[in-house]
């Protein structure tokens, strides 16, 4: 049993190692040298990739957890139960990346606790910070049974699980409300920047639009994660469950596109749609990936029922969603700031490393815990099984 071996040097391990090394250097640059050496941020672009990707995308893509948990526990969609744990775990890790991201995004991260005691109820960011704190706590509690059931002390374990069972519904309900609030308030942050945000993205409906886009992106990310576990980690989730889940995405994108279109016309942003400028091109890039292509593809049962095609379509949704958040947070400010912001490589490296760490954590959680139904038993961390390594 003590047959200890060095991990094999595989392609993916090398990639992960390189990302972590680059991330480690970037973290050094951020904390030892400061923002100026580690980012291309400036007074006219005070929020860059770390907010756009780390916070906006991180929170948005983590919307799957609350949506699927609410569907299963509150609305009784039992058929999604096999993926509910994976969705919750994905969200939990997503929020952890957001909080880790805060540690390098904030100028004075050791004061991250200040909003707990220093209140400004007029600040959208204050509400966001409270919701994120509370919801991450809710997620950790929702996720906790996966860890607790591995505790060897039966009494403690049973006690905890019984107690948890009673609280679960309340947790899921609170989680759904908190999520709805801060998913939309992330868009609400930009309401205050009226006049700076390009008319193609500014809208008084930004909160609603952020909410309506986060849910399909979160579902798509969950489908992708489960697909990958099916493919590489011996998970055995019926592809029909994923296909069914994907059927919710298209209608949501319809509603989103409809509201966005009406809003563009009524706000007068529509006049910019066909202007020959970088913003308009990036707008169409975003809409094509996030709405048009997925809606067309998902209407085909061939696509929905082919796991590979479904995976690709969901990847489009997630990437289109990311394009939207980066457009709102970066592209939309370019004209008004007169500053062309391109993130420094260290900004990419630190974001990549954070997301990769979450991916690695997800991978091991699926192997060691009961996250998804699998054709092999969960590994036990007390003993090593060289045979299945």
Partner 1 sequence: MPKSKAILIDITKCIGCLSCEAACKQLHGFSQDPEPKLSPTAFTIVEEHGDRYVRRMCMNCQDPACASACLVGALKKTELGPVTYESSKCIGCRYCLVACPFNVPRYQWSKLAPFVTKCDMCYARQAKGQSPACVEACPVQASIVGWRDEILEEAQRRILSDTKYEKHIYGSEEVGGTSVFYISDVPFEKLGFTKVESQPMPVLTANALGDIPTVVTVGGGLLAGLYWITNRRKLVALAEAAESARSGKGKDPHHD
Q: Which parts of this chain interact with partner 1 (CB under 8 A)?
A: 31-32, 34-36, 39, 41-44, 46-47, 70, 73-76, 105-109, 111-112, 114-115, 118-127, 129, 169, 173, 176-177, 180-181, 184-185, 188-196, 204, 207, 337
**Burial label, 2 (beta-carbon count in 10 A; 0-12, 13-18, 19+):** exposed
- Minimum separation from the CB atom of position 105 to partner 1 (A): 8
Among residues 124 and 225, whose Cβ is nearest to partner 1? 124
User: Judged by CB, which is closer to partner 1: 177, or 309?
Assistant: 177
Measured from the Cβ of residue 164, the count of other Cβ atoms closer than 10 Å reads 15
CB of 133 to partner 1, least distance (A): 12
Torsion sign, CA atoms 217, 222, 225, 230: negative
> What is the number of other CB atoms lying within 10 angstroms of the CB of residue 223?
30
Q: Which is nearer to partner 1, 105 or 314 (CB)?
A: 105
Question: Do residues 109 and 102 touch, judged by C-beta distance below 8 A?
Answer: yes
Minimum distance of partner 1 from residue 123's CB (angstroms): 4
DSSP string, 214-283: HHHHHHHHHHHHHHHHHHHS-B---HHHHHHHHHHHHHHHHHHHHHHHHHHHHHTGGGGTTSSSHHHHHH
Q: Is there a contact between 234 and 375 (Cβ–Cβ < 8 Å)? A: yes
CB of 381 to partner 1, least distance (A): 36
| Long-range CB pairs of 162-169, under 8 A, 24+ apart, other chains included | 167/141, 168/73, 168/142, 169/73, 169/74
Look at residue 130 and give its three-state secondary structure: helix
Q: Measured from the CB of residue 316, what is the shortest distance to partner 1 in angstroms?
A: 29
Least distance (Å) from partner 1 to the CB of residue 223?
23
Long-range pairs for 225-231: beta carbons < 8 A, 24 or more residues apart? 225/86, 225/90, 225/362, 226/83, 226/86, 226/372, 227/307, 227/310, 227/311, 227/314, 228/311, 229/86, 229/366, 229/371, 229/372, 229/374, 230/307
Residue 70: which of 57, 61, 80 has the closest Cα?
A: 80
Nearer to partner 1, 188 or 216 (CB): 188
Of 202 and 290, the one with the shorter C-beta distance to partner 1 is: 202
Please give the structure tokens belonging to residue 360.
């690695």
Which among 288, 298, 287 has a CA at the least distance from the CA of 246? Answer: 298
Smallest gap from Cβ 299 to partner 1, in A, equals 28
Return the number of the residue (57 or 303) whose C-beta is nearest partner 1.
57
The residue (of 176 and 217) whose beta carbon lies closer to partner 1 is: 176
Closer residue to partner 1 (CB): 14 or 44: 44
Asked if residues 61 and 352 have their Cβ atoms less than 8 Å apart, the reply is no
CB of 56 to partner 1, least distance (A): 13
Q: How far is the CB of 192 from partner 1 (least distance, A)?
A: 4
Please give the Cα distance from 296 to 4 (Å, whole number). 51
C-beta of 112 vs 293, nearer to partner 1: 112
How far is CA 247 from each of CA 112, 298, 381, rounded to the nearest angstrom?
Answer: 40, 7, 38
CB of 107 to partner 1, least distance (A): 2
112 vs 141, beta carbon nearer partner 1: 112
């Amino acid at each position: 049993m003590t047959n200890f071996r060095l991990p094999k040097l595989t392609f993916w391990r090398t990639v992960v190692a390189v990302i972590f090394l680059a991330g480690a250097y970037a973290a050094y640059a951020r904390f030892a040298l400061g923002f100026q050496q580690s980012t291309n941020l400036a007074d006219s672009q005070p929020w860059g990739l770390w907010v756009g990707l780390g916070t906006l995308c991180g929170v948005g893509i983590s919307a799957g957890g609350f949506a699927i948990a609410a569907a299963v526990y509150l609305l009784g969609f039992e058929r999604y139960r096999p993926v509910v744990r994976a969705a919750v775990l994905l969200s939990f890790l997503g929020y952890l990346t957001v909080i880790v991201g805060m540690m390098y995004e904030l100028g004075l991260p050791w004061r991250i606790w200040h909003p707990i005691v220093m209140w400004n109820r007029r600040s959208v960011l204050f509400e966001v910070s409270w919701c994120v704190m509370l919801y991450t706590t809710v997620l950790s509690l929702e996720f906790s049974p996966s860890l607790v059931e591995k505790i060897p002390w039966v009494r403690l374990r049973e006690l905890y699980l019984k107690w948890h069972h009673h609280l679960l519904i309340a947790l899921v309900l609170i989680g759904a409300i908190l999520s709805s609030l801060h998913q939309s308030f992330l868009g609400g942050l930009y309401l205050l920047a009226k006049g700076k945000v390009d008319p193609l993205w500014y809208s008084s409906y930004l909160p609603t639009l952020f909410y309506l886009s986060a849910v399909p992106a979160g579902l798509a990310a969950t489908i992708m994660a489960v697909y990958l576990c099916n493919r590489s980690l011996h998970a055995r989730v019926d592809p029909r469950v994923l296909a069914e889940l994907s059927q919710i995405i298209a209608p949501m994108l319809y509603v989103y596109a409809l509201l966005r279109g009406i809003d563009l016309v009524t706000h007068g942003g529509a006049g910019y749609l066909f202007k020959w400028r970088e913003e308009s091109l990036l707008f169409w890039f975003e809409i094509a990936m996030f709405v048009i292509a997925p809606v067309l593809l998902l209407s085909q049962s061939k696509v929905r029922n082919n796991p590979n095609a479904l995976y690709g379509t969901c990847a489009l949704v997630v990437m289109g969603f990311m394009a939207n958040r980066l457009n709102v947070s970066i592209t939309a400010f370019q004209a008004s700031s007169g500053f062309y912001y391109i993130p420094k490589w260290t900004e990419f490296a630190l974001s990549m490393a954070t997301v990769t760490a979450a991916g690695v954590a997800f991978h091991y959680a699926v192997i060691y815990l009961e996250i998804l139904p699998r054709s092999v038993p969960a590994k036990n961390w007390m003993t090593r099984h060289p045979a299945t390594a």
